[in-house]
């Protein structure tokens, strides 16, 4: 039985007040405990609660590139890719829009502004993509591949963010409220469905059907759930008539250059969710939040939290960043490792990531 209200106690709230975490805080006006979670936070907690505490409560991050500690190829590549994709969907029908300028000049500016070549020789994907030129070729091929399909879509919105403005409530209680946060790349209307369109980059399609990885994933389900809630505010009723909104379009982009057919590195696949799936999504999110708060309470009391030791050597295709910390025999050993090999950085904040994208 869900019981989130029990976390509104003095000791827990005092700690929350002191910590100033971006995703959980006390609303000064109402005194309520407000939790704003996105898919990244929840996925991390589900994958390993101890990892979550290190990253999203303590803000401890492994020193990365020697000259720029803590940079993340995956995060930053995702950001520059989404900047360009959002620009494309905003402007591809403008009479003065040039695909060549977009994939050439604009991609060059974004790539160099973000200094993506700092990853050359450091991250294998920089090489697999082919650096800046490979990235530009990928964008050109993307526009070419999807142009015929895109011409049939009406673009309803791009860069649609939701979060601390409390647009998507998951739970409104007497003392506790939970909201969903995130950002949708593009919202489109194909005449039958109004739906989010998401982009996922992956290493290679040779590993199998890329959709399989996301069929049960909470992320796309969350986007459909969100769009259903936001739709009345985004689209007038007459334009919503007879449109379904239980579908998402997933665009998969293979990062590795495909020599045989450069256009085969893109797939656009639909995914559907039933009403029942959307209802159980909400309940699952709340149960996960309750578990998260339970572990957070233990962490505040200096008690251990659960560990998923299967993920220690397989954390997103590599070793977990906290492996060297958690293999220590003593607490002192853990502290020394943290002091020597980690930096303390601002904690993940969906709004900041959204602002970075913008």
Beta bridge partners of 315: 318
Choice between 99 and 312, CB closer to ligand SF4: 312
Q: Which pairing describes strands 33-37 and 266-272: parallel, antiparallel, or unpaired?
A: unpaired
Choice between 223 and 322, CB closer to ligand SF4: 322
Least Cβ distance, residue 328 to ligand SF4 (angstroms): 11
3-state secondary structure (DSSP) of residue 306: coil
Choice between 224 and 320, CB closer to ligand SF4: 320
Least Cβ distance, residue 321 to ligand SF4 (angstroms): 7
Helices (H), 131-217: 131-150
Choice between 153 and 347, CB closer to ligand SF4: 347
Query: In terms of C-beta density within 10 A (0-12 exposed, 13-18 middle, 19 or more buried), how is residue 52 classed?
Result: buried
Look at the block and give the residue holding tokens 């994709």.
85
Look at the block and give the residue holding tokens 């379009």.
249
CB atoms within 10 A of CB 31: 10
Least Cβ distance, residue 317 to ligand SF4 (angstroms): 13
Neighbour order of strands in the sheet with 154-162: 154-162, 182-189, 194-202, 247-254, 266-272
Helices (H), 68-115: 73-91, 99-101, 107-113
Least Cβ distance, residue 46 to ligand SF4 (angstroms): 12
Choice between 278 and 312, CB closer to ligand SF4: 312
Least Cβ distance, residue 278 to ligand SF4 (angstroms): 30
Residue nearest ligand SF4 by beta-carbon distance: 320
Residues that bind ligand SF4 (CB under 6 A): 48, 50-51, 307-309, 311-312, 315, 320, 322-323, 326
Instruction: Provide φ and ψ at 135, rounded to 5°.
Output: -65, -45
Least Cβ distance, residue 50 to ligand SF4 (angstroms): 4
Give the Cα separation of 144 and 100 in Å (integer): 11
Choice between 74 and 192, CB closer to ligand SF4: 74
């Amino acid at each position: 039985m869900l019981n989130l209200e029990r976390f509104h106690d003095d000791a827990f709230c005092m700690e929350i007040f002191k910590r100033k975490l971006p995703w959980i805080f006390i609303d000064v006006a109402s005194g309520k405990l407000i939790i704003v979670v996105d898919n990244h936070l929840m996925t991390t907690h589900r994958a390993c609660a101890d990892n979550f505490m290190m990253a999203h409560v303590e803000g401890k991050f492994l020193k990365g590139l020697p000259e720029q500690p803590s940079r993340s190829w995956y995060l930053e590549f995702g950001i520059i890719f989404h900047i360009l994709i959002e620009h494309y969907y905003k402007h591809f029908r403008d009479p003065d829009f040039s695909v060549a300028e977009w994939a050439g000049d604009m991609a060059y500016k974004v790539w160099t502004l973000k200094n993506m070549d700092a990853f050359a020789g450091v991250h294998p994907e920089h090489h697999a993509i082919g650096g800046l030129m490979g990235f530009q070729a990928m964008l050109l091929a993307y526009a070419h591949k999807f142009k015929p399909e895109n011409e049939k879509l009406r673009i309803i919105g791009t860069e649609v963010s939701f979060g601390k403005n409390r647009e998507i409530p998951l739970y409104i209680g007497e003392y506790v409220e939970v909201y969903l946060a995130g950002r949708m790349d593009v919202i489109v209307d194909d005449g039958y469905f109004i739906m989010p369109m998401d982009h996922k980059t992956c290493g290679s399609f040779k590993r199998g059907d890329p959709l399989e990885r996301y069929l049960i994933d909470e992320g796309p389900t969350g986007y459909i759930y969100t769009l259903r809630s936001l739709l009345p505010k985004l689209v007038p009723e007459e334009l919503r008539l007879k449109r379904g909104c239980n579908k998402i379009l997933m665009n998969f982009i293979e990062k590795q250059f495909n020599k045989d057919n450069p256009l085969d590195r893109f797939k656009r696949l639909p995914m559907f969710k039933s009403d029942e799936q959307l209802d159980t999504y909400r309940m699952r999110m709340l149960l996960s939040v309750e578990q998260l708060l339970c572990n957070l309470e233990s962490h505040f009391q200096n008690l251990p939290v659960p560990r998923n030791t299967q993920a220690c050597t397989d954390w997103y295709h590599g070793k977990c960043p906290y492996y060297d910390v958690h293999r220590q025999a003593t607490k002192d050993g853990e502290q020394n490792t943290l002091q020597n090999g980690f930096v303390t950085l601002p904690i993940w904040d969906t709004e900041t990531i959204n602002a970075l994208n913008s």
